[in-house]
Amino acid sequence: MTQVAEVQGFTNSHDRYPTRIASGPSMLQRNEPAVWGKPADGPFDAAALAGHEARGFTIVDNVLGAGEVTSCREELDRLSRDPSMSDSGRVITERGTDEVRSVFDVHRRSDMVAALIRDGRILDRARQLLGSDVYIHQSRINSMPGFKGTGFYWHSDFETWHAEDGLPVPRAVSCSITLTENYPFNGSLMVMPGSHKRFVQCVGATPENNYTSSLVEQEVGVPRREDVTRMAAEFGIDQFTGAAGTALWFDSNVMHGSGNNITPYPRSNLFLVFNSVENTLVAPFAAPRPRPEYIASRDFTPLS
């Protein structure tokens, strides 16, 4: 990388997490904690924070009530059908069909989601985990249809956000809220507890406009099979299941993925990605240019 940007002390010339490399990838130790705040800073108590630091994720039941879940699903339907959303690239469909797979940038296109990211149930936890003010790096609804939904192969979000968006270090956290029941068998998220403490380097240069295909099926930024095998042996695999309205808070560097869904039960989740205002984006660490704003926001205004 000859490109050097400097924001808040991070420069691309000092890359702690090199990836998309030519060959010989390995696992690096992560330098930063997953939990930056203290028990007094928010709703998570000391045990919850310790668990989050160890596993890299925490499940909170009943974050949304049934009425809120219904409203969220109606928002998803509305946004999925909104021509300005699809025309602007914010709606991703499954390969070879017009079934909606993801809708991006929902916090700026839905008053309801805009309110939710500022709701104490959500925002207080994001701030506590990241130990600072926060803003939304990315928001999306993933909708895995029944019968033919395809999953997401194993990956670390941070690897992509670092390489393609210029997220300096893993001081970001995702809040995934179930909008339908997540069963073990309808493509629910699998997570490797503790995997957030390793950074798995990936092989292969990032193609121009990689996001236009990677959001359907990722081909670059994918860990090698031997690394997935090693991590599964070391950390095991857990699955995130629960009734609609359950939240999963997971560190940006947790290794996770999902299988397909042949059941009649669609699997929809709202994803809200919070980043610390002390970790705002610089130039991409391993991509020709940044991804669009609707995938990786450069509005770093703290939420309040």
Question: CB–CB of 269/261 below 8 Å?
Answer: no
Dihedral pair phi/psi, residue 82, rounded to 5°: -75, 115
Q: Quick one: CA torsion of 145, 105, 218, 130, rounded to 10 degrees? A: -110
Element (H, E) at 29: strand 27-29
- Asked if 239 interacts with its own copies (CB under 8 A), we say yes
Site for its own copies in 146-175 (CB under 8 A): 146-147, 151, 153-154
Comparison of 155 and 171: residue with beta carbon closer to its own copies: 155
Q: How many CB atoms lie within 10 A of CB 40?
A: 7
* Stretch touching its own copies by CB under 8 A, among 75-83, 123-131, 226-234, 277-285: 226-234
Three-class SS of residue 176? Answer: strand
Judged by CB under 8 A, the residue of 27, 215, 263, 277 near its own copies is 263
Question: CB–CB of 203/23 below 8 Å?
Answer: yes
Closest among 40, 59, 17, 43 to 250, alpha carbons compared: 59
Q: Which residue has the tokens 């149930």?
A: 121
Site size for its own copies (CB under 8 A): 27
- Asked if 93 interacts with its own copies (CB under 8 A), we say no
* Stretch touching its own copies by CB under 8 A, among 44-52, 86-94, 99-107, 182-190: 182-190
- Asked if 250 interacts with its own copies (CB under 8 A), we say no
* Stretch touching its own copies by CB under 8 A, among 68-76, 98-106, 121-129, 145-153: 145-153
CB within 8 A of 7, min separation 6: which ones?
A: 168, 280, 281, 282
DSSP state, residue 261: B
- Asked if 265 interacts with its own copies (CB under 8 A), we say yes
Judged by CB under 8 A, the residue of 229, 234, 298, 301 near its own copies is 229
Site for its own copies in 53-92 (CB under 8 A): none
Question: CB–CB of 52/234 below 8 Å?
Answer: no
Paired tokens of 43: 């709703």
Judged by CB under 8 A, the residue of 5, 28, 237, 283 near its own copies is 237
- Asked if 25 interacts with its own copies (CB under 8 A), we say no
- Asked if 223 interacts with its own copies (CB under 8 A), we say no
Position 71, amino acid: S
Comparison of 150 and 279: residue with beta carbon closer to its own copies: 150
Using CB under 8 A, list all residues that contact its own copies.
Answer: 146-147, 151, 153-154, 183-185, 187-188, 190, 225, 228-229, 232-233, 237, 239, 257-265
